[in-house]
Structure 1
């Protein structure tokens, strides 16, 4: 386990380098993977896109957000600015100086956009899975979900129902979310966040990809993405829910890597073709896009 000090916290992070890169890894493109809130941690990226991105030639950095996974869990300090400050400090601690590709799942995509609004020159591209820019509508939705989780997850019968209806993996994530919400001010701090002005978001000029599940309520926010970022690429995968990154990693991989090659000028790495031949990773029918 790797731990670095960033923004006054002990932050758990992991890195992958391209095959055969050795000490020259820092010269290639860097992808920073940011997970979602409460029940999530860097494992959702490690088990899905981290290795394909490394095979494609990226130096891959994953980290647990403050209060999550194996990172330090302060009782307070969970506004959007806190999360963006942590990302900036982590990149400084790792001596990452060039523009980075930011990939965020759910709230992780919001952190990515928040960082890009503050440091546009430091971001080469953004990939957001089931996410939204930091807008009032999105934060109201996140606040409702956090409030509901804080109210219901302390009850054991709720966890038992989640396990019966959605499986043990969902139950484990719910238990972790219960611990995070009970031990921190996340549910109180995040809705009180200072949001970047819409003009700062609209000024982001790097390529952006927004990926949604067709059966997820978050896809309703896609028009807001289009309004703020009219050049964004928005892809919707029919039949998928908010957990598309975990449920359909091969589909997400192929959409993301194809977009990175076409829209972001990233060339396939020497290990990518071999990685694509590994295992049962053929994607389903092409995603619907708009």
Structure 2
């Protein structure tokens, strides 16, 4: 475990590289989602396979999540993009990186790519979308419900989750309730500055969208196809928002194909046979 101080707060960071000590062919940064998520969703799924193919893998807990510091305020999208920038600076990662973001982590990754198109080699959005006015309205509804049902009625909500989703999900929900109750996250994220169409179009690196076939985010594909010059997508049938964890082999194979293609390298290890679909 490593702790990186951004100048404002401490972030919990984990890093994996090729086991044989060879020089990595590229750096991939994995950004997780909101509330119940942490870097563990990558650590126990795709990260080891990525490192085995010759990649330098960086993953971290977002502010307020996992083992990172939890300030009482400062949770806008720009705060999270600033954290990503500062973390890479402290780690000495200055060249273009391959960004992978799950859910809200994809929105952070896209925001970084819009700020720094020259520092983004490729971008994967797993069940995610750029920050638009529609995104902000949707997040406001989701977070209002979290605050109302979890933070202000935690006992009944946790009892229902335990009975219907199990003890591990209930444990994660308790952490989400504390984060929603003790910080301004629920207000900050929906009030974040969103991207203009021009800023979205400025992301010209290869972009991969990965969706569960039963997810409503499949409906965001046309916007990305219209605005992004190098966008391709994969839909994994039979899955919803948790496609990263539920279909890690398939999702990881598509991401590795994109990264190694963009880097112009052949993966050192075996890559699942799924081909990236345009």
TM-score tier (shorter): over 0.9
Q: CA deviation at 1:288?
A: 10
Does residue 243 (structure 1) correspond to residue 242 (structure 2)? The answer is yes
Match of 1:43 among 40, 44, 55: 40
CA contact (8 A) 1:237 1:287 kept: no
> Equivalences for 1:47-62 in 2 at 5 Å?
47-62=44-59
Q: 1:230 to 1:42 in 2, by over 3 A?
A: same
Cα deviations across residues 104-128 of structure 1 (Å, max 9, x unaligned)? 0001011111001111100100011
CA contact (8 A) 1:110 1:134 kept: yes
Q: CA deviation at 1:149?
A: 0.9
CA contact (8 A) 1:106 1:128 kept: yes
Q: CA deviation at 1:259?
A: 2.9
> Equivalences for 1:154-173 in 2 at 5 Å?
154=151, 155-173=154-172
* Aligned equivalents of 2:75, 2:175: Cα separation in 1: 17
Secondary structure at the aligned position of 2:130 is classed as: coil
Q: CA deviation at 1:203?
A: 1.3
Name the Cα RMSD after superposition: 1.9
CA contact (8 A) 2:208 2:233 kept: yes
Does residue 151 (structure 1) correspond to residue 186 (structure 2)? The answer is no
CA contact (8 A) 1:14 1:63 kept: yes
Could you tell me which runs of 5 or more consecutive residues in structure 2 were left unpaired when the two chains were aligned: none
Q: 1:8 to 1:81 in 2, by over 3 A?
A: same
> Equivalences for 1:235-274 in 2 at 5 Å?
235-269=234-268, 272-273=269-270
* Aligned equivalents of 1:177, 1:114: Cα separation in 2: 24
CA contact (8 A) 2:26 2:56 kept: yes
> Equivalences for 1:23-34 in 2 at 5 Å?
24-25=23-24, 28-34=25-31
Indicate the residue corresponding to 1:221 in structure 2.
220
Secondary structure at the aligned position of 2:63 is classed as: coil
Indicate the residue corresponding to 1:72 in structure 2.
69
> Equivalences for 1:1-290 in 2 at 5 Å?
1-21=1-21, 24-25=23-24, 28-154=25-151, 155-269=154-268, 272-273=269-270
CA contact (8 A) 2:110 2:130 kept: yes
TM-score (norm 2): 0.93
Q: 1:174 to 1:17 in 2, by over 3 A?
A: same
CA contact (8 A) 2:62 2:68 kept: yes
CA contact (8 A) 1:207 1:264 kept: no
TM-score (norm 1): 0.89
Secondary structure at the aligned position of 2:161 is classed as: helix
Q: 1:149 to 1:257 in 2, by over 3 A?
A: same
